[in-house]
A and B are shown apart, each in its own frame.
Chain A
Amino acid sequence: MSAVTAAAAAPPATRADGPVLSVRDLVVCTHGPDGPVVLVDGVSLDVQPGEVLALVGESGSGKSLTMLAVMGLLPAGTWLEHGTVTFRGEDLTADRCRLERLRGDRLAMVFQDPMTTLNPVRRVGAQLAETVRLHARLTRRQADERVVELLDAVGIPDPAAKARDYPHQWSGGMRQRALIAGAVAHGPDLLVADEPTTALDVTIQAQVMRVLAERRARTGAAMILITHDLGLVAQAADRIAVMYAGRVVEEQDVLGVFDAPRHPYTRGLLASVLSLGRDGERAYAITGQPPVPAERGTGCAFRARCDVGRDLAVCGEQVPTLLATGQGRVACHRPVPLPAPEVVR
């Protein structure tokens, strides 16, 4: 094991005081035909060192945008209107230069489509070597050696030869594993994985998740797993934050949320997933569609699809705030009541 590998495997200094990442009141907007449109509406989250937080929601819920905003990678035409991002105690929103230096080093991100994430005209090994040399003083040869080690660690066969390939010559699973290896090469404190398996075959998904888990165990990194797949959440996450229409609507331990979801939307999500296993019954799906950002209106964004909220005045008038309950937090005027202890499943 080279000196470089040893350094990367050392666990991060434990900070007993406080979360790795702390997001407060994040607001992301874009241009609309009649003025600015709010896409992420006041999101607050914490991630503790070493834990896995799953950020769950449908497309359009703002989960990706939230993390892109944290990383300073918002696409053209969108901007951070408001909010603070604190990473290991530092305020990143105040200092963009600091953020850009931390990217790739302490704060890393893995994206959804491994084909488009790699530069198609450059060899995979060269791109990974570039990643490795960005935050460590290595010679070309040292970097190449390190790349071979990384590829080997994530199970790429014949890594030295494969490194000379171009991205289109590799399979999707191989590309994603290599990208993960690159992302955690410098032992970041936080890894953001934006739908890392969505673009891959189901059979490859497990392999990639394993690699993620293993790399995390090596480096001790915390992870934010953005996904719409509750199965992955059950498998890999410690805590879950559910987003709907740009807001966090529920936050809980994963075990707790599967047992007792408090927000009607979360309950609906779980019901639609779990119902797939039962023979003979129609799969459950929440009626309707999430509202388009420009049409979220006043009050709770879920009210139109909510059995309870449809008829409640307060749901139409006031946006529910995220309040602590015994198990976590929920933003709802009439949270789902806890099941009575003696209910048998």
Chain B
Amino acid sequence: MHAGAIVLQTVLLVALAPLWNGVVARIKARLQMRRGSPVLQRYRDLLKLAGKETVLSEHASPLARVTPYLMLGAAVTLCTWTPVLTTRPGLAFAGDLVMTVALLAAMRVLLALLALEAGTTFGGMSASRHLALSALAEPALMMAIFTLALNAHSTDLARIAAAVEAAPAAWISPSHLLALTAVWIVVVSETGRVPVDNPVTHLELTMIHEGMTLDVSGHHLALLEWAGAVRQLVLLTLVANLFLPWGIADTLEPAALGLALLAWLGKLLLFAVVVALTESLTAKMRLFRVPEFLGMAFLLALIALTSDTLTRG
């Protein structure tokens, strides 16, 4: 693919990542009859954090100083081969589905280690929960996309998107819908949204993702938050373009790209509405109900996979 297109999609994902959180917060505020903060508030927060003094725990190892940079680096790297606007492969020679899952896992490892750096209870607690939940979420994610990969005969993300797009009849097949449900549960869990986690909570006993960054501050925190936002947008884009590849461009012509951009933004807005509605209407689950929830995703993905095997024989 054109190098410019790769740069464009990377910049798009990285730049729009904080915005999506702002949009969700805004919709939620409207649902609660509040005016809410401006959608650009997240950018201001990031800039403010970046300018602040950074305090590091005296027990932290040198790894703690590198981790925030590596997290952002890994998150941005994911953007270079995720199909965003076209099914023409980006840096697909470098990464595919398995590499994506492995990089997500790498970010998880680094974040869990960062949480243990300060030697505090909250760090350990959230790392513990994070590890347990992702041990269920990761295989579910892998399997859900694996269902599509088996039919595309490839783990290349762009190829998978193209294969799904080429057979719209399969979109309403049971295995596709089950896999979509599974992947949505995983995305909710991985991005720390209700009902798995509450992104705005500061009640220590209930939190997972927030707890891991309690002892991180200043520019380190800014990097981590941005990395988290980019990771979230990449996951959402994967759902949008692998499972619902409507409107994605097959060529690099400006008209097709423009349409694809609109379709992509529309799908993201739809996701934002869904997430905001879920967060307004449901309560957070008790922690030990979450494994059942994620176990359900795992099972759904497994059923999707087997039903796919059976129906296609």
B and A form one assembly: no
| Partner-B contacts on A (CB < 8 A) | none
| Partner-A contacts on B (CB < 8 A) | none
